[in-house]
Structure 1
Amino acid sequence: MDLENLVKRCKKGNSAAQKELFDRYGGLFMSICCRYVKDTDEAKDVLQEGFVKIFQKMSSYKSTGSFEGWMKRTVVNTCLDHLRKTKKFEANVDLDNVSYLEPINEKVTSHLAHQDLLNLIHDLPDGYRTVFNMYAIEGYAHKEIAEEMGISENTSKSQYRKAKLQLQEAIKKLEYSYLDREKTG
């Protein structure tokens, strides 16, 4: 069934259509939830809450722009609401205490699998991970992140920079491991 007809059926409260929409997009949106929320059970709860909001607010979707994009935005906002409620992010960080990034060996990054990078992002502290996801992956501006998270724009920039620094350090550890294996293998 095409998405337009599926949405029409969902707007009418058709539970089979709602299940089909969930089946079609649940995996994609679960991966988004897992990028923001470390605990898988918590991420599942956030996903469920996100779909409840999608179904409740579906009538407000005006068919302008991508419906998938609208749903994705709803799920991301649900993740952010969850993080705000649980206060799982640092609110204030001083920009003066941020280190500078060094280049990473391209030989190592070319061997870094997509899942490896997602795992490194998943291991970031909650505040860093949230800002990194919003800025680097979702495309939010620091001003938007600040407004969404109730933090200053400088805190957003600082958290993003610290996330990149921590990712760089984790990749450097992988680099040393990779180069050692290359020498011995």
Structure 2
Amino acid sequence: MLSVCRQYIKDIHFAEDVMVQGFLKMFNKLDTFKFEGSFEGWLRRIMIRESISYLRKQQFVVYDDEVYEKNQSEEISQSTDLDTEHIQQLIDALPQGYKMVFVLYTVEGYKHKEIAEMLSITESTSKTQLLKARKLLQGQLRKQNSIGYGNR
């Protein structure tokens, strides 16, 4: 479950705190689990909602292009080996709003309507954020590939 929280929260220490809060919520709400789906899926949803709640409380979620310029200056590993940690670094460099929509859609498999409800945004905002996140990631990958292979 730490990896679920880590997908949303960049700092591992804060992700651990959110995971602990998620487990506390799970134990407090265990009697509400109806055995209609997988327990792991139910627990994942709790962790996702706790992560989103944490980010909202910290006011890290901004659905705006201005955040991208700030994140552009952040160092990203120059490795051309696309291991899991490297991909996570690229996702972490996305503006928080883009990142949340990207992870909810591509990793967790939520539909835009569900994402819109979870994040209190419109479906079109969800779709736009996903499109922008993909473009930014593709640009970073192209940039790193050209640096890695010596082509500029």
TM-score range, shorter chain: 0.7 to 0.9
- What fraction of aligned residue pairs are identical, expressed as a percent? 40
Would you say 1:44 and 2:16 are equivalent positions?
yes
How far 1:85 sits from its partner (Å)? 2.1
How many aligned residue pairs are there?
137
What does 1:94-109 align with in structure 2 at a 5 Å threshold?
none
Name the amino acid aligned to 2:150.
D
Distance 1:64 1:47 in 2: 23
Distance 1:91 1:117 in 2: 22
What does 1:14-53 align with in structure 2 at a 5 Å threshold?
29-53=1-25
How far 1:175 sits from its partner (Å)? 0.9
How far 1:75 sits from its partner (Å)? 0.6
Name the amino acid aligned to 1:129.
K
> 2:43 aligns to what?
71
Q: Deviations over 1:63-89 (max 9, x none)?
A: 121111111111111111112222222
How far 1:171 sits from its partner (Å)? 0.3
Q: 1:49, 1:78 within 8 Å by CA — same for their partners in 2?
A: yes
Q: Deviations over 1:155-179 (max 9, x none)?
A: 1111111111111111012110232
How far 1:115 sits from its partner (Å)? 2.5
> 2:125 aligns to what?
155
SS at match of 2:29: helix
TM-score by length of 1: 0.68
Structure 1 unaligned blocks of 5 or more: 1-28, 94-108
Q: 1:92, 1:152 within 8 Å by CA — same for their partners in 2?
A: no
> 2:136 aligns to what?
166
From the CA coordinates, give the structure whose radius of gyration is larger.
Answer: 1
RMSD (Å) for aligned C-alpha atoms: 1.8
Q: 1:36, 1:130 within 8 Å by CA — same for their partners in 2?
A: yes
How far 1:47 sits from its partner (Å)? 0.8
Structure 2 unaligned blocks of 5 or more: 66-79
Q: 2:55, 2:61 within 8 Å by CA — same for their partners in 1?
A: yes
Q: 2:63, 2:98 within 8 Å by CA — same for their partners in 1?
A: no
> 1:8 aligns to what?
none
Q: 1:51 to 1:45 in 2, by over 3 A?
A: same
Match of 1:139 among 109, 112, 123: 109
Runs of 4+ in structure 1 off by over 6 angstroms are none
TM-score by length of 2: 0.82
Q: 1:50, 1:74 within 8 Å by CA — same for their partners in 2?
A: yes
Distance 2:60 2:122 in 1: 16
Distance 1:57 1:120 in 2: 35
How far 1:150 sits from its partner (Å)? 0.8
